[in-house]
Structure 1
């Protein structure tokens, strides 16, 4: 028999704030977390803005992992997981007794460590990479760091590398493990760190804004790279009830597809199919969706394609649609995880998160309400979270009010 899947804890580590309360306050106020990049020299780029987590010190949050063992992406993930289990009221006794799955997502893995290893190989010690650098490189270390931080050696952990939809993949997979009775708790989410090579790649694609991200705006110029770690605690209803947990939301279902149509360009029909698949899996109809957290990168192609796919499914009167990348920047593998946190907070607050930096709707964007600049009260029972990635990797998760 299928188990009902509940969200019981949230752990955001972002440029908008660290921890549920700080993130919540900044999100609905429409505060912009992007700023001038500090982590590398940007003098050769037209764009010098990103969503860096300037005040992140892993050792102030984490109990069992350090920077000597893990790279920045892994530390962001571990810190997010620690915050999420604390938010859920899970103690070590609870974690030790439960069947735990750890499902994390990433785009670039340990990107900063890859840059350091490359510098070693090419400059510092030509032809040689140190054992310390090599040890930190595998993307799987992100899921491992969460397991080590939570002292969950008995857990199953997996790291999805499906780029910018990876957190939604992790949420969908963790939900399936719980619904099928294979796990009591799933720690799901994702992490990525700001790095020069990812910044350069998107810059070379012509996808970067020179100042701020303006999704759906007539004058939008592109995205901004960003970093962060995000985790949600998912539990079976039976497990949550047994320990007296306070549920925050339900996971209604998810849809995942991959069109492999183009290396970087999104496919409108495929996105629409993914939306319909998610609705089918969640057992709902389009008219039941009260809000959509869009992928909304702020590029011309993504916003036009995504909004057109929404119109294909919802018709001329779609629900409010906003993009929190306007505030966070694009946190890559963590992006849809932050979208999930925003959806859950929206259900709790009964408010739609805003699209910041907004001035005028693009005529080619067939949306009617992008929740401009500040959060707005709304009746929310069902909310929809989008995550799309290069190669046509699409993942959509639906959440419901408890």
Structure 2
């Protein structure tokens, strides 16, 4: 049920918090997108002995003490450090005082693939070496997935709040943003801090490596010679609020959330399904009240694997008579798992606000089986009205988010 006049409220993005391998915060992330910066480098998070190749997109210039006030850094796992820091960044970027935020009805929703699997890797090692009675208590306490969202609540001192962690793997960021959109639109909350966070860990790297999907040095989405993903890490938290709330405090608006679509086709544990993704895109368009031809560019899931890119391109052509420019920022920041679609959504919001399409870097020759304009290697100026952010996850969990230039209610 909707508040007041029973009409759904418009939802706008007023703050962005970003922890990425190409920069921290809006200015650095935006500069990295414009320049086509690569975050790829040798992995240092764990011992990579025995792997023939071990590049990834780690965050290397992050000092949690600079961004987190309510905890000692060692109280939090690395993914939670990212989520809390990104939430602080988003609140600061939105220009809202904490005292005011604490008076608002708020949702905190964070998506993840691995949660604190980096700590779980450590605990498994301790159990194998010394037995379960010798597990480090502090690491056990910080390993629960709920800490990704509950720690934001504690850090910001929120009281009138709904908090949840969403574990729908690589589509989780869009799922989390969609949950915040629904809550604001329905009038359940005034403000939502939503996105995703994950940290590089041995478990996920080794799993993708055994699947044969880890690229040796770089990620090349939609390229004829693509070899797979690079695992990455980071966090993207979007501060969303009702248009009334944003207007009342004179907030800057990056973009409006127009709608989203979800599907779960359960076609295969790891292989994407073209029809399932096509249904998800069509559902997102209906929910947003747009048609396919209204979309000015697509931020693709674009992992750089053989199967994903061909399947995603096929689904796009199934929905769009003439596909718009379609890019993958994973070519720059790697696959940051639960953070991936949140970072993609932030990139879309910045693209609308700043008037450009980010590039797909490391591109040499477009795979004819993909056949998309992937904006190779250099950003492109563009006046954007509507953009689409795709997210795919194992077991066919798809989430497509639609953002637009802010429009006044009719």
Give the TM-score range, shorter chain. Answer: over 0.9
Offset at residue 248 of structure 1 (A): 1.0
- For each residue in 1:207-241, what CA deviation from the matched residue of structure 2 results, as whole angstroms up to 9, or x when unmatched? 11001000000000000000001100000011111
- For each residue in 1:298-340, what CA deviation from the matched residue of structure 2 results, as whole angstroms up to 9, or x when unmatched? 000000000000000002x210000000000000000000000
Offset at residue 126 of structure 1 (A): 4.9
The reply to whether residue 218 of structure 1 matches residue 224 of structure 2 is: yes
The reply to whether residue 114 of structure 1 matches residue 120 of structure 2 is: yes
- For each residue in 1:340-385, what CA deviation from the matched residue of structure 2 results, as whole angstroms up to 9, or x when unmatched? 0110010011110110100000011132x10001110112100000
Distance in 2 (CA, whole Å) between partners of 1:137 and 1:25 is 33
Kept in 2, the 8 Å contact 1:30–1:327? The answer is yes
Tell me the TM-score normalised to structure 2 length: 0.96
Out of 177, 189, 193, the residue aligned to residue 171 of structure 1 is: 177
Change (3 A) 1:126 1:139: closer
Match of 2:283 in 1: 277
- For each residue in 1:137-173, what CA deviation from the matched residue of structure 2 results, as whole angstroms up to 9, or x when unmatched? 2111101111112111331100000000000000000
Match of 1:183 in 2: 189
Distance in 2 (CA, whole Å) between partners of 1:378 and 1:83 is 27
Kept in 2, the 8 Å contact 1:311–1:366? The answer is no
Matched residue count: 400
Match of 2:398 in 1: 394
Kept in 1, the 8 Å contact 2:104–2:160? The answer is no
The reply to whether residue 324 of structure 1 matches residue 322 of structure 2 is: no
- For each residue in 1:95-154, what CA deviation from the matched residue of structure 2 results, as whole angstroms up to 9, or x when unmatched? 111001000000001011101111121113455434322211211110111111211133
Match of 2:380 in 1: 376
Alignment map for 1:136-285 (pairs within 5 Å): 136-285=142-291
Distance in 2 (CA, whole Å) between partners of 1:203 and 1:112 is 17
Query: Secondary structure of 1:68's match?
Result: helix
- For each residue in 1:5-40, what CA deviation from the matched residue of structure 2 results, as whole angstroms up to 9, or x when unmatched? 000001110101000000000111101011111111
CA RMSD of aligned residues (A): 1.0
Alignment map for 1:19-168 (pairs within 5 Å): 19-126=25-132, 128-168=134-174
Kept in 1, the 8 Å contact 2:40–2:217? The answer is no
Distance in 1 (CA, whole Å) between partners of 2:74 and 2:214 is 33
The reply to whether residue 355 of structure 1 matches residue 360 of structure 2 is: yes
Kept in 2, the 8 Å contact 1:102–1:146? The answer is yes
Distance in 2 (CA, whole Å) between partners of 1:66 and 1:147 is 16
The reply to whether residue 304 of structure 1 matches residue 310 of structure 2 is: yes
Tell me the TM-score normalised to structure 1 length: 0.98
Consecutive unaligned residues of structure 2, counting only runs of 5 or more, are 1-6
Query: Secondary structure of 2:256's match?
Result: strand
Query: Secondary structure of 2:73's match?
Result: coil
